[in-house]
Structure 1
Amino acid sequence: MTTIAPIEPENATGKAAELLGDVKKSLGLVPTMTKVMANSPALLKSYLALNGAVATGVLPAAVRERLAITTAQLNGCEYCLSAHTYIGENIAKVSPDELSKARGAESEDSHVQALLQLSNEIASNAGDVSDETIAAARAAGVTDAEIGDVVANLALNILTNYFNVLASVENDWPVVTL
Structure 2
Amino acid sequence: MPTTACPDHTAFPDHTVESAPAAARPALAAIEGKQGFLPSAAARMATSPEVLGGFLKMNALFESTTLDRLSREVLAMTMATRNGCHVCVAMHTGILTALEADPALITALRAGTPLPDERLEAVRRFVLAVLATNGAVDRETLDAFTAHGHTPRNALEVTLGIAAYTLSTLANRLTGAPVDGPLARFA
Once residues 105 and 149 of structure 1 are traced to their aligned partners in structure 2, the CA distance between those partners, rounded to angstroms, is 23
TM-score scaled by length of structure 1 = 0.89
Give the aligned partner of residue 5 of structure 2. Answer: none
Q: Which amino acid aligns with 2:124?
A: L
Q: How many pairs does the alignment contain?
A: 176
- Describe the shift of the 1:149–1:93 C-alpha distance in structure 2 as closer, same or farther (beyond 3 A): farther
Deviation of the 1:89 alpha carbon:
0.9
Give the aligned partner of residue 107 of structure 2. Answer: 100
Contact 1:114 1:140 in 2 (8 A): yes
Give the aligned partner of residue 110 of structure 1. Answer: 118
Contact 2:104 2:116 in 1 (8 A): no
Deviation of the 1:73 alpha carbon:
1.0
Structure 2 stretches lacking a partner, 5+ long: 1-7
Structure 1 stretches lacking a partner, 5+ long: none
Deviation of the 1:48 alpha carbon:
1.1
Contact 1:67 1:102 in 2 (8 A): no
Percent identity, aligned pairs only? 27
Deviation of the 1:128 alpha carbon:
2.4
TM-score scaled by length of structure 2 = 0.85
Once residues 77 and 93 of structure 1 are traced to their aligned partners in structure 2, the CA distance between those partners, rounded to angstroms, is 22
2:166 to 151, 158, 163: 158
Q: After the TM superposition, which residues 1-178 of structure 1 pair with which residues of structure 2 at under 5 Å, given as runs?
A: 2-3=9-10, 4-90=12-98, 92-103=99-110, 104=112, 106-172=114-180, 173-174=183-184
